[in-house]
Chain A
Amino acid sequence: MISQEDVQYVASLSRIHLKKDEVECLSKDLEKIVDYIKKLESLETANIQPTSHVLPIQNVFREDIIKPSLSQKEALHFSIEQHQGCFKVPKIIE
Chain B
Amino acid sequence: METTQQFETVIGLEVHLQLKTKTKIFCSCANDFGGEPNTRTCPVCLGLPGTLPVFNKQVLDYGIKIGLALNCAINNVIKFDRKNYYYPDLPKAYQISQFDLPIAKDGFLLVPSLNNELKKIRIHRAHLEEDAGKLMHDAVHPYSLVDYNRTGTPLMEIVSSPDMHSPQDAYDYLQTLKLTLQYLDVSDCDMEKGSLRCDANVSIRPKGETKLGTKTELKNMNSFKAVKAALEYEIARQTSVMLSGDKIIQETRLWDENKQMTFSMRSKEEAHDYRYFPEPDLVPFTISDEKIQSIKKMIPELPIDKYHRFIEHYHLSDYDARLLIQDAPLADFFEICAKNFHDTKKICNWLNTQVLQELNERKAPISKTLLTPDNLIMLIQKTDAGIISNLAAKDVLKIIFETGKQTEQIIEEQGLAQISDDVTLEKIADDLIRENQKVIEQIKNGEQKALGFLIGQAMKKMNGKANPKKIGDILQRRIFHG
Contacts and interface: CB of A to CB of B under 8 A. Distances in A.
Chain A partners chain B: yes
B201 interface: no
Contacts of B28: 62, 65-67
Contacts of A60: 54-55, 282-283
A17 interface: no
Contacts of A93: 137
B290 to A, nearest CB: 14
Interface in A11-70: 12-13, 15, 52-55, 57-67, 69-70
Given A86-B146, A90-B144, A61 B60 contact: yes
Contacts of B23: 62, 64-67
B41 A75 contact: yes
Interface string B269-280: 010010100101
Nearest to B135: A92
Given A13-B273, A69-B39, A92 B88 contact: yes
Helix, strand, loop or mixed for chain A's interface?
Answer: loop
A77 B60 CA distance: 33
A13 B270 contact: yes
B30 A58 contact: no
B30 A53 contact: no
B270 A9 contact: yes
Contact of B88 (A63, A71, A76, A89): A89
A31 B384 CA distance: 87
B480 interface: no
Contact of B142 (A64, A67, A72, A91): A91
B280 A53 contact: yes
Helix, strand, loop or mixed for chain B's interface?
Answer: loop
A78 B8 CA distance: 52
Given A69-B41, A92-B135, A94-B265, A62 B48 contact: no
B36 A12 contact: no
Nearest to B149: A69
B40 interface: yes
A61 to B, nearest CB: 4
B265 A89 contact: no
Contacts of B40: 69
Interface in B34-92: 36-43, 46, 48, 54-60, 79, 84, 86-88
A12 B269 CA distance: 12
B29 interface: yes
A2 B21 CA distance: 47
B27 to A, nearest CB: 8
A76 to B, nearest CB: 6
B88 A87 contact: yes
Contacts of A78: 46, 48
A90 B143 contact: yes
Contacts of B171: none
Contact of B57 (A63, A71, A89, A90): A63
Contacts of B148: 75, 87
Nearest to B138: A91
B378 interface: no
Contacts of B37: 72, 84-86
A86 B136 contact: yes
Contacts of B137: 91-93
B29 A66 contact: yes
Given A62-B54, A66-B30, A94-B220, 18 more contacts: A59-B283, A63-B57, A64-B22, A64-B58, A65-B22, A69-B29, A72-B38, A72-B39, A75-B38, A75-B39, A78-B46, A78-B48, A86-B38, A88-B145, A89-B88, A90-B144, A92-B87, A93-B137
29 contacts: A12-B270, A15-B86, A53-B278, A60-B54, A60-B55, A60-B282, A61-B56, A61-B57, A62-B28, A62-B55, A63-B57, A64-B58, A64-B59, A66-B29, A70-B43, A72-B39, A75-B38, A75-B148, A76-B38, A84-B37, A85-B36, A86-B136, A86-B146, A87-B148, A89-B145, A91-B144, A92-B137, A94-B254, A94-B265
Complex A-B, nearest 4 residue pairs according to Cβ-Cβ distance, in ascending order? A86-B145, A67-B28, A64-B58, A62-B54
